[in-house]
Amino acid sequence: MDVSIFKTFLEESDNIVFFGGAGVSTESGIPDFRSSGGLYNEKLKNSYSPEEILSHSFFIRHTKEFYDFYRSKMIYKDASPNAAHKGLAELEKAGKLKAVITQNIDGLHQMAGNNNVLELHGSVHRNYCMECGQFYDLDFIIESEDVPHCSKCGGIVKPDVVLYEESLNSQILEDSVNYIMNADIFIIGGTSLSVYPSAGLVNYYKGDKLILINKSKTPYDSKANYTHYGSIGELFLRIFN
């Protein structure tokens, strides 16, 4: 569809909400999960699948093996924001974008300059002792050997990311729903909209400017007022340059 239509939507609105998935960060060198080259299709040296390793029960029972995988596959400290992240930061700076809702845990939206970021699945940049709650940053996890332990009480430090078998933060979900329900424009990018409950957020939007940007089709394409099949970063470059 004509990019000028999308651009006009953005120019005429000051109540935009963005919801993004792994496809927003692939152009920053962070692999997604379910594509042919994604994390879940990699052949691992052990007999566990990535889904098993990234579960709460695996973390509890096999904490060292969890961290071996987590450090090698889930942390990309040198990744930088791409054109999509930067474009969204520009929209917030202009007073148009009210919230970024993300399934990503990499912190690139904040690095680009977005302030109101609702992280549905948490962040690698936050880590807490399971015993006393002491906070630890990403460097602490990277530099720890095997299982990171709290320097205050000796408890195991866990990343503040939502693992399989864990619930999403109810307050973040509630805030996300409120932003979406009140949005004039709802932009969804870089997600196949196949993972629930996050994918179900699209149903809370009642407006007439639903924008879907993804490299492949989604179950909600028929509901969209504008669809773009391709790179979200390249699209944002065309919009903001």
Catalytic residue among 85, 109, 121, 125: 121
Euclidean distance between CA atoms 67 and 143, whole angstroms = 12
One-letter amino acid identity for 53? I
Q: How far, in Å, are 23, 87, 104, 164, 209 from residue 229 at the CA level? A: 12, 18, 20, 29, 17
β-pair partners for 157: 129
β-pair partners for 118: 101
Is residue 161 within 8 A of residue 105, CB to CB? The reply is yes
One-letter amino acid identity for 80? S
121 flagged as catalytic: yes
Is residue 55 within 8 A of residue 164, CB to CB? The reply is yes
Tell me phi and psi for residue 214, to 5 degrees: -160, 155
Euclidean distance between CA atoms 224 and 227, whole angstroms = 6
**Alpha-helical segments (H) within 63-220:** 63-73, 83-93, 108-112, 138-143, 170-182
The residues annotated with a catalytic role in the active site are: 121
